[in-house]
Structure 1
């Protein structure tokens, strides 16, 4: 997928994320735990989520895998089972009242992690190699930070790095000076205090040790830390901001107190501000709200509001199960989405990540005269390819029908009887070929209609027409569906996903079918896992033995809240479909096929069942051998 600006746009190794998720669920003995990436490692007990640190992304793959797995093991075996959440909350409140809260929190976090690493190694000795790699990478990182902070004069950051190096040192020769900025008496007290960490056997004792160390350093350090290297191991959901009804109804006062005396004869000036912009697909049904903080108080009341109705939304920011009203304007897509809006509490049939994704089926509309003319042009362009494939398949069928099978133990006696005298167990019989059979196959073609397909859609339509004309000639049922997600309407509670049925299974073999393919156009985002699961359901309802799902796409999925989990969800959807007997193949379109990270991402999603087409003009040549292989397998 082409992007003009990239912020933290790192490729996600879907197989590695699945390994981490499986590891977390195995250690927790529960399928509800999930793994996400964050700036620092931690565990959210309420959400049942483990956060893996992004610090490890810069290291080579073997070290990166061991360090990320150590994050999961540390949080699940250590923090989840051996960290006192009440002690962590009490420590958080105590730290906020100190003069150096950042240093205190980070020192406690590293100390608690080191204590838990020893606990994990005792309970599960097999984790030692992961924690050794973790400490090695951390020591290398903090030695660099110790040198850099000593140069720039960040004394609190320098002290934290030195303390971690001292706590993880394997030899007295590896020691670095803890507090060279302190006087001799302070250094002596610190040298006597820091080894007491190894006597800590609980979260509360670790907290008391960290408080004692920071209390001693408060007299030496002029200020708190500049950087954040870690955070508390348990994410405190009780202190997260919760939006209340008062927050929603809040009205901030004006900054000034002046008022305007209304005059009956005064002239009132009104200005209409349009709500349409080029990102919207229609001009009606938009909500525009202003929060005025400066202005003059008047006695005027606005008359722009309309009477409410039963189907109105309670708030403009919430897209609930509302219905169109008589005093508003809605387009055809909004009417379709209202009719298909899912009710709450029905679970997640299309995956947990797609719990809030709603299915909106768009029916096929009659093709326009322009589409009919364009279809005839493209149909003539793909006719040679269609004829070649049909001729090959018909010749192969005829060969299968007329070929004789010889050297059989039973059947018709052949004329050559010499093997009866020369062989110990002669095979003297033959059978004629079976009568010609038709192809017992069904095809589902999913087309990515996201905005990134705008420069590839025309050539993609040519490939779709080739598939349709070939399968229609060979009497193989198929369906062609375009999918996209409307980014303008997507919210945290409702993400409309449109499925445009260009050609249905029922209409695929009709002579007049085909021009509706040209109605597919690029729109917004793409939620591939959702679309693949939906098409899998449609194919499983078909009676044919050979089921093929072909996905036309030009990159990784991207939709509302789908950035991190989109690759994983799509891969899981592909694995589920293959487990149920459906062959899923991706046709990757565009110049991104030459990019190594992109190729690896697509391979992680679809495995070896993917075809890269760097130039869309090569699509027809790549489709011919695929169709031939699948049709032969259907017999």
Structure 2
């Protein structure tokens, strides 16, 4: 099964995608940063190049209330505290100063502990409503460090033990009980220095406290921390916080350097750079220019009398000057006959290029035989649902609105006597000309579909035949990623179109029978692609169906696929397009699989117990959706 971006690969827990999305949006709102992404890691982390903040797995396997409150405090600290109030410049100078110190890890993590304490207080003062969540955080961490303290002493991890004790002192006061014999460590002096943390107002003041405490224990404790407790500052060094902008860069002179002061500035700088550098191209470091003078010392002089010896043709299809005028405003760009996804289809698919092509008809004779057999077997089902829908439409047409003040006079005139204000008139409803609906069907084209390909084709053919009989416009396409040619820079994807909106009532049975399985599947991208096509339609009811046999899996997508697919579904539903998922399985789906698909698709997911039930489930879904269309014309 696909997992989220974990700090260890053997962690077999799946992510609650919708909950994580809600936390992510909270982080974006608090930091006022629309591009911010959220993951879950071992410790609180910042990843500026990727635009990611990470809450800690520390809160897992606790009660719902504690887990929720703890995760909220992680987000508060990341997006409100460290985001604007942690001094990056002083942090880097501090880490350089202690880079060779024998207690380097202890000193750096002590500073981060002091900063967390200061920022917690600042957040509570600015937003008093967060106090209850931070109380939960304090209780959980104090309990954790109280349990760790004797264990570390027993193992002679003195630095870890002292670190635990200092955390307890900070949160419970300097007079909290301690049964530990610290021997030569001058704990009284350390406590007197630590008390200054209650009045600290900046990173600089906490640096002074951390340095003094390290000076007190220097020589007494010889071994550095064994465990890691904080990793907030690990991502910030001179290399990723100092940007060298050369001539041609906006608001900067050639060779001028600028070091960012806050985490927010670092993130925004990386985001701006990634915005301009993203896509399918060579990857450069940040230290490069956009314009400058070329070296023309070895240029050859021109000769206007020279003859043309060779001509070349580009791949341009007309005047592209307008298309390249504003790269960010364009949703797609052509590249070698393919389309570039860009950022319109989600941040996970920036380097995706894709092609839309008709399914090539293959094995025509054999496929015609198959289609004939399948249609003969499915004819009763098609006839049944079509007749049922037509009867419902007729009933809808014949129904009338009664008890009106004007219209046709009813034969039931008792209302003239009984009612104080009689309304003996009625009107017939206008007959429906057609069902005001459009369908888009996505079929998973990954390699895992090979063992159930014929059964899937039968279900798709049933879907196609029912909608054709009812005159409903629809589109059917398989989707896949070319795993063999996918790389970090380029991820080729394809959509094999079996039937398009413009085909209307055309019989596309041969195309359906000819589609084949390929490699990987990028579900979130495919959903956004089809949603964009449906959004351009004028019909009132829009449905997007997705037939798949597993979790999303593609290059660099296996870890984030669940979250991205859930986000794509939520985005699509907000536009008024209903997303329905059918899990195609040869076996009875497990509870874990059902839970996983519920995370991604909510309650609009169904599953079949065997391959023989694909068509039955397809029929059931169609019947429900068409009933909705008739009920709400």
Displacement, 1:528? Answer: 1.5
Structural mapping, 1:524-535, within 5 Å: 524-535=519-530
1:439 Cα deviation (Å)? 1.9
C-alpha displacement at 1:36, in angstroms? 2.9
| 1:500-511 equivalences in 2 (<5 Å) | 500-507=496-503, 509-511=505-507
* Displacement after TM superposition at 1:446 (Å): 0.6
Residue among 341, 350, 361 paired with 2:345: 350
SS at match of 1:492: coil
How much has 1:619 moved relative to structure 2? 3.1
Cα separation, 2, equivalents of 1:38 and 1:592: 33
Stretches of structure 2 lacking an aligned partner (at least 5 in a row)? 243-311, 314-333
- 1:618 corresponds to: 613
- In 2: Cα distance, 1:440 partner to 1:341 partner: 31
Post-superposition offset of 1:164 = 1.5
Please tell me whether the aligned partners of residues 343 and 350 of structure 2 are also in contact (alpha carbons under 8 angstroms).
yes
Say if 1:613 and 1:172 are closer, same or farther in 2 by CA, change over 3 A.
farther
Contact residue 162 and residue 176 of structure 1 kept, 8 A: no
Q: 2:165 aligns with which of 144, 162, 187?
A: 162
Provide, for residues 496-552 of structure 1, a one-character-per-residue CA deviation record: whole Å limited to 9, x for no partner.
1211112222335224x2122233333332222211111112222333322211111
Q: Which residue matches 1:314?
A: none
Deviations 1:392-415 (A, max 9, x none): 112223333445555443333344
1:65 aligns with 2:63: no
| Counterpart residue number, 2:77 | 74
Match of 2:453 in 1: 457
Report the Cα offset of residue 630 of structure 1. Answer: 2.6
Match of 1:327 in 2: none
TM-aligned CA deviation for residue 8 of structure 1: 3.1
What residue in structure 1 maps to residue 231 of structure 2?
A: 231
1:481 matched residue in structure 2: 477
Distance 1:398 1:76 in 2: 58
Corresponding residue for residue 467 of structure 2: 471
Partners of 1:441 and 1:523 lie apart in 2 by 31
Q: State yes or no: 1:153 paired with 2:148.
A: no
**Alignment partner of 1:428 out of 421, 424, 429:** 424
For the Cα contact (< 8 Å) 2:356–2:495, is it kept in 1? yes
| Aligned-partner SS, 1:172 | coil
> Against the structure 1 CA distance between its residues 171 and 88, is the aligned structure 2 distance closer, same or farther, given a 3 Å change threshold?
closer
2:140 matched residue in structure 1 = 137
Task: Give 1:622 deviation, angstroms.
Answer: 2.8
The corresponding residue for 1:182 is 183
1:213 aligned partner: 213
Determine which of 82, 95, 111 is the counterpart of 1:92. 95
Query: Is the alpha carbon distance of 1:174 and 1:596 closer, same or farther for their aligned partners in structure 2, counting shifts above 3 Å?
Result: farther
| Contact persistence 1:554–1:592 (CA under 8 A) | no
Question: For the residues of structure 1 that align with 2:90 and 2:186, how far apart are their CA atoms?
Answer: 29
Distance of aligned partners of 1:415 and 1:191 in 2 relative to their CA distance in 1, 3 Å threshold: closer
**Contact 1:400/1:434, CA 8 A, preserved across alignment:** no
The equivalent residue for 1:338 is 336
- Secondary structure (helix, strand or coil) at the match of 1:524 reads coil
TM norm structure 1: 0.77
Tell me if structure 1 keeps the 8 A contact 2:2–2:551.
no
Q: Distance in 2 between matches of 1:193 and 1:2?
A: 49
Rounded to whole Å, the distance in 2 between the matches of 1:176 and 1:240 is 44
Cα drift, residue 90 of structure 1: 0.8
RMSD: 3.1
1:138 Cα deviation (Å)? 1.4
Question: Which ranges of structure 1 fall in alignment gaps of 5 or more residues?
Answer: 243-309, 312-335
1: distance between equivalents of 2:398 and 2:339?
56
Partner of 1:523: 518
Q: 8 Å contact 1:550–1:585 — kept in the other structure?
A: yes
Aligned partners of 1:12 and 1:564 also within 8 Å:
no
Q: Runs of 4 or more off by more than 6 Å in structure 1?
A: none
Closer/same/farther in 2, CA of residues 135 and 453 from structure 1, 3 Å limit:
farther
Q: Secondary structure at the match of 2:95?
A: helix
CA distance 1:400–1:118, change in 2 (3 Å): closer
Q: How many residues align?
A: 536
- When normalised by structure 2's length, the TM-score is 0.77
| Paired residue secondary structure (1:523) | coil
Q: What displacement does 1:232 show? A: 4.1
User: Counterpart in 2 of 1:30?
Assistant: 33
* Deviation, structure 1 residue 214: 2.4
Match of residue 602, structure 1, among 597, 602, 607? 597
